[in-house]
Structure 1
Amino acid sequence: MSGAGDLAAQVVWLVDRALIADLLVEFARALDERDWDAYAATYAEDGVFRIGDAAWLEGRSAIRAATVSERGCGAYAGTWQGSSNHAITITGDTATTRSYLHGLHLLGGGSADHADGAGWYDCAVRRTAGGWRFTDVRITEVWHAGEPLRHVTSLDPAQPDAPK
């Protein structure tokens, strides 16, 4: 690229990329610090969260309710979400991302009592009046260790005892 117009476009792209990367980091920070409102705020009102075919949640309030519940991340004594290698593709006011994930979930019976998983976060984001927000977060788990990840099989609203 050359010229002042190209430089301005590059600066906008760099700022947008930094804001989207910050959104990915905030997503993990809010989960790990149990800041449920901040976690929910990373989603657009019509956002979707899914874990493979095991869980599908639609809407910011449904995502928050399921996450805080004893069938979601609220079931764990602590979590540590590692998100790295953020690949971000921006197209105007939307973007897609792919990040590596490694999530550790402490079950509460001591440090050896854990459920861990790894794979990818594939996300779609949209520029909103409040900044970049997730419209779709899809987790693909490719590895797990320890106990089964409770929230992977328990958030599906179609299940009779799942959170609404």
Structure 2
Amino acid sequence: MNDKHEIQDVLSRYVRATDERDPEALAALFAEDGVFQFFGRSGTEKYQSSGKPIVGPEAIKEFVEGWHPLPERAYLHHLTTDHVIEVAGDQATMNAQWIVMSTVAEPEPEGGWSKGHAGVHGSVAPTMIGFYDAILRRIDGVWKLTRFDVLHSLPLVIPTADR
């Protein structure tokens, strides 16, 4: 696998860890000094920070563990596209567009699905959209995130202890 594919694989693992809400898998993608931060904006305004940077795998793991649980029968699916990856030796940058689809499954009727219930049952709706902006470094032969900015194209409020 070449460097660009390995770097894109880091993003694939990030979105799967996020969708599965797997704090250990997500934190493992970051270097010891890796920075994870969220931003939001309204329309074409400049991105505004939505909270303090989270630094290091342990702090990132704790942050992900604190995410609100999804409602019953709900799931998120991240889709990424238009990956722009630049590699210079053991340093790299990556930018990609993303969209998150929220799915909510209908509950199975008591007694099971009847003959007339073919196909899938539930709803799918886009819920978030934006860009990922990342800096990576090859450490002991493995690409790790040293900076990962989640740029929401909508205003973003991250709950804190005071709100």
- The match for 1:136 is 147
- The match for 2:30 is 43
With structure 2 as the length reference, what TM-score do the two structures score?
A: 0.71
- Counterparts in 2 of 1:47 and 1:19: CA distance versus 1, 3 Å: same
**Is 1:104 the equivalent of 2:115?**
no
List aligned pairs for 1:1-164, cutoff 5 A.
Answer: 15-52=2-39, 53-55=49-51, 56-69=53-66, 72=67, 74-76=68-70, 77-105=74-102, 116-129=127-140, 131-143=142-154, 152-154=156-158, 159-160=160-161
Structure richer in helix, relative to its length: 1
What is the distance in 1 between the residues matched to 2:104 and 2:145?
A: 28
Aligned CA-pair RMSD: 2.8
| Off by >4 Å, runs of 4+ in structure 1 | 105-115
Higher RCO, 1 or 2 (CA under 8 Å, sep at least 6)?
Answer: 2
Once the two structures are superposed, residues 64-122 of structure 1 have per-residue CA deviations (whole angstroms, 9 ceiling, x without a partner) of 111121xx2x4324221111211000111110000001123569999669781101000
Structure having the higher Rg: 2
Q: Secondary structure at the match of 1:153?
A: coil
What amino acid is the match of 2:129? A
Identical columns (%): 28
- Counterparts in 2 of 1:161 and 1:43: CA distance versus 1, 3 Å: farther
Cα displacement (A) at 1:161:
5.5
CA contact 1:79–1:104 (8 Å) conserved in 2: yes
Give the total of aligned pairs.
136
With structure 1 as the length reference, what TM-score do the two structures score?
A: 0.70
CA contact 2:31–2:146 (8 Å) conserved in 1: yes
